[in-house]
Structure 1
């Protein structure tokens, strides 16, 4: 399959996992989903990543996000590894890890990059909204662990755009000023949405306090 692009519908699938069979769209329900691949079980960077995901469970839940991981390892190996993650990372993995031994999901989501590895999945992340639309993607090599604060920041930015018609500038963090999307021009709607006002640095650059703060 061709590489998934922003705005595509995330492919549905049924696959085994550490928590039993997953019918993806049904499992996702009306939540946001972060689907992230890891190269292999019992590897150092992956162990820290899944431990970090578990530790951030409350942050994901507060944003209405379900995390789900995937690799090409089988279920029994996942179960053994989860016990190791829990012990070494002092946490409890309570989200599913897809056991994609037949590579069905990996092929749907283009997770095998032969020039990097012909057998292991790369570190890709798919941000999927409640309509099952792919809203953002990130891909890292096996040697580079992901920044999970950045994953949460991306979710916050996407959700702000959906709910308040703002975009987030460079290096934005939750609570910082944001910018009004250029497509919003109606004066009445602007006044209603942004009662605190805005600073029009340029006609296209309108800075305003974060609306939900």
Structure 2
């Protein structure tokens, strides 16, 4: 077996639009690998530790939104550098104390292999805990988005649901989405690449044209 990597050997943060780092790891639903999620979008998110208040609020919010993610063909997958037994005990505690079922699997990453591969260990925050990182991976295993938060501040789960919908819209229609975009809002049309296209863009009745480079349309 390969020796565990030191912090100085830890791979860098993965890059958007490249294959997400592969993994195979124990979870609360049995052993899972990245390939098990092929054909679906994957929302992989880490938390510093089980039985911590901020993480508990985040996990309950993810759990309450799980059906909304699944309607978008997306699966949730949590991770922390804790054991499977710790995860199970925490899941049971959340159910008993808050009445919320955690139905998505949680990776037990005691050796920090997945956390290091995804750049979740930040020395400035902690050498032994994963920061609050969230990765959205498409059905082909390509990393499409990633967001890092400090340990002290919880994430907004509705924003990740919105981001997923935005990514899917961009992929399906070849468009961009403006700040704060929500399903049903107008989208941004890619700017023209030639002078001729720019002139034609200004005459296009199907677009809301502000200038040759800035146009919106309804889907």
TM-score, normalisation: structure 1: 0.90
Q: What secondary structure does 1:82 align onto? A: helix
Give 1:179's aligned residue. 188
Give 2:18's aligned residue. 8
Choose the corresponding residue for 2:100, options 91, 95, 101: 91
1:20 aligns with 2:30: yes
Shift of 1:182: 2.5
Shift of 1:111: 0.8
Moved >4 Å (runs of 4+): 183-187
Q: For structure 2, list consecutive stretches of 5 or more residues without a partner in the other structure.
A: 1-10, 198-204
Aligned pairs for 1:154-169 within 5 A: 154-169=163-178
Give 1:41's aligned residue. 50
Distance 1:88 1:4 in 2: 37
Structure number with larger C-alpha Rg: 2
Aligned pairs for 1:1-213 within 5 A: 1-25=11-35, 27-182=36-191, 197-209=206-218, 211=219
Classify 1:208/1:184 alpha carbon distance in 2 versus 1 (closer, same or farther; 3 Å): farther
Q: For structure 1, list consecutive stretches of 5 or more residues without a partner in the other structure.
A: 188-195
Shift of 1:184: 8.3
Report the count of equivalent residues: 204
Distance 2:206 2:102 in 1: 44
Q: Deviations over 1:4-49 (max 9, x none)?
A: 1111211111111111111221x21200001000000000011111
Q: What secondary structure does 2:153 align onto? A: coil
